[in-house]
Amino acid sequence: MFVLYKTPVIKLCFCLVLRSAPPTSKFFSVKGTANVQYSISPTPRDTSHLSPIPLTENSVLLISRDHATVLRSEPVSGKAVCDQQAFCNAELSLDVDADRDGIVEKNNPNKGSWKWGPDGHGAILLVNCDSEKTYKKTPDSEEKNIYKVSDLKDMSVMVLRTKGPGKLPEGYKLTMHISQGDAESVRVFRNRSTEVPNSGLYYPLVLSSDVLSKEVPYLGGVAEMNFYVEGLRFPDKDFNGLVTINLSLLEPISDGLPETPIFTDKVVFKVAPWIMTPNTLRPVEVFVCSTSDNYQFLKGMRNLVAKSGYKLNICHEYVNRGDRWMQDELEFGYIDSPHHRFPVVLDSPRDGDLANFPYDELLGPDFGYVTRVALDEHVSSLDSFGNLEVSPPVTVNGKKYPLGRIIIGVAFPTATKGRNMTKVVQDFLWAQKVQEPIALFSDWLLVGHVDEFMTFVPAPDRKGFRLLLASPDAGYKLFRGLQNSGHGQATLFDGRPVFICSRHILFFFFQSCIDWNRDVLKRELGLDDEDIIDLPILFKLVEDENEYRAVAYYPDMVNMIVLGKNLGIPKPFGPKVNGRCALEAEMCSLMEGLGLKCTFIDDYSSYHQLLGEVHCGSNVRREPFEFKWWNLEM
């Protein structure tokens, strides 16, 4: 910008060679008050008011003024028209970490857009969903003010950089503004060094849902001012995660008329998605509940977790109030940016007696919380998060999913009735984009969870994992083999002989349900038969509200906890052959070839008889992926 002040001389001429315009500039325009004259060389073809004028290396702007006086100043401004509109003389820019290296660089030409991929660009914003408080907690995004300086690390830094005159001409002002559409998704605070008694540093709120536009200080000279940008909500069906923040320099025109923007700049952020972690990632800590009747289960879990070298967190009965289904209440994930990341728990809509645990016990400094409430939908068992899993990274027909794919269970696609995961949860999962969901058929099961018939374990070869599937067919073959080898009278957990089990289980129907899911998983995860291991698990039919659905006949070994190379598996209490459980022997044979160790945990009375198993009653928080989600090629 060029400002010409009246001085006590007869005539003042000012010649500008427009070589200081930004490198991407292609055009410029000029305007001034009536008493200021200007000429342009070479003479443009179109001389209409404010028409864009082609900018070349030889462009020259000559400004002159007759009868100058010191009564007041009158400005003339030049504006270069380019991708990042900026003044040709003074420097003014709103800057963010557009190249995603953790540093706010100066006037990145790509700061006003967002692009996926390793060669992409655009700043990243975290939802400030943790709580700096440990007492009377609320997520920081719901606090009116910045509670602690430590909260700033959860926000993205945005810098206003200036290089120019000591102050703006009279009537000019610098404003920051957002759209009404973005106002529910972002807030902006600014840095101020003023000390407020008994409250430490004070960070004034600049933009919010109540304040869409606000004047910001122009510091003058060469200066920088930090702003702190806070995400308020995750991507969802009605929000793609992109927010734009604008900066404008406004020029007064006349009393009664609105100011005119003579400079604009903008930056674009994308809100980081919530990301799940598969069984193949390193565990950090394990969560279980203590109840009056699960001593044997807890004993087995303590031994397993201690042997594996991880931390065990026990939610005691005065907190869980008898609700033992830790997996069903919540799912652990995380959010990530170039400057910070932290775990975030997704609270399910099931809201059993563990309903308050995620908020009251997990929410805290650098531990976020998010939930989705089904206001107008029926919440069923399929909304529990035993029905929410994620695969390890896969490549499908050349398309890479380096963060894996989310897996949920629903009713059969052609069913006219049936149970489904609520739409509000499904919409949330799909909107995260980075772990494209797969829907399986799980409504054939009484509880209806995908973890009743599938899981993933690490492997040293092929794709780095195996998919384990419950297989009534494998169970039938195992028991038929025992019967044919003279062990037909060996008894199961309930004293029934092997041959009764093999004759009376409707394994053909159950196997057809699993085979349908098997085909979906092979197609959607790019798996071969060699990537899948069938586990000998039988089911039986039980009546549920005049309908028949399936439950595991004996403890469901696929419903396990995976802690690195150690597997915590429901003890199946199968028939003993030569003093050893035939089911345990088969399981060990299948897993030990992958370098995995099996620990069988007694959950029969405290979980299996209540229609759950080891995985249902536990939960694992894991390390995040090394891969950065913004490097996905979408």
Please give the single-letter amino acid code of residue 557: M
Q: What does the alpha-carbon distance between residue 608 and residue 322 come to, in Å, rounded to a whole number?
A: 16
Which residue in the block uniquely carries the two structure tokens 């830790």?
Answer: 326
Among this protein's residues, is 289 annotated catalytic?
A: no
Query: Pick from 605, 553, 619, 629: which is nearest to 291 by CA?
Result: 605
**Do residues 192 and 217 touch, judged by C-beta distance below 8 A?**
no
Among this protein's residues, is 339 annotated catalytic?
A: no
Asked whether the CA dihedral 591, 595, 601, 603 is positive or negative, the reply is: negative
Among this protein's residues, is 616 annotated catalytic?
A: yes
* DSSP H or E segment with residue 27: strand 27-32
Among this protein's residues, is 82 annotated catalytic?
A: no
Query: Pick from 262, 325, 204: which is nearest to 2 by CA?
Result: 262
Q: What does the alpha-carbon distance between residue 273 and residue 624 come to, in Å, rounded to a whole number?
A: 13
Q: What does the alpha-carbon distance between residue 396 and residue 524 come to, in Å, rounded to a whole number?
A: 7
Q: Which of 121, 449, 487, 615 is catalytic?
A: 449
Q: Which of 129, 315, 588, 616 is catalytic?
A: 616
Q: Which of 328, 383, 556, 602 is catalytic?
A: 328
Compute φ and ψ for 178, nearest 5 degrees: -130, 165
Q: What does the alpha-carbon distance between residue 124 and residue 337 come to, in Å, rounded to a whole number?
A: 6
Asked whether the CA dihedral 314, 317, 318, 321 is positive or negative, the reply is: positive
**Do residues 510 and 558 touch, judged by C-beta distance below 8 A?**
no
Cα–Cα distance list, 439 to 57, 321, 392, 582 (Å) = 59, 32, 16, 34
3-state secondary structure of 116: coil
For residues 385, 388, 390 and 391, what is the CA-based torsion angle, rounded to 10 degrees? Answer: 120
Contacts 24+ apart (CB under 8 A), 630-634: 630/100, 630/116, 630/120, 630/122, 630/124, 630/270, 631/116, 631/117, 631/118, 631/120, 631/402, 632/116, 632/117, 632/402, 632/403, 632/434, 633/116, 633/117, 633/118, 633/400, 634/116, 634/117, 634/433
* DSSP H or E segment with residue 423: helix 423-431
Query: Pick from 545, 524, 542: which is nearest to 467 by CA?
Result: 524
Query: Pick from 406, 428, 333: which is nearest to 624 by CA?
Result: 333
Beta bridge partners of 94: 160
Within 240-303, strands assigned E span 242-251, 260-271, 275-276, 283-289
Cα–Cα distance list, 570 to 129, 163, 409, 587, 617 (Å) = 36, 68, 22, 11, 11
Burial 47-81 (b: 16+ CB within 10 A, else e): eeeeeebebeeebebebebeebeeeeebbbbbbbe
Q: Which of 130, 182, 347, 451 is catalytic?
A: 451
320 Cα distance to chain centroid? 27
Percent of the chain that is helix, strand, coil (3-state, to 5): 20, 35, 45
Residue positions annotated with a catalytic role: 328, 449, 451, 616
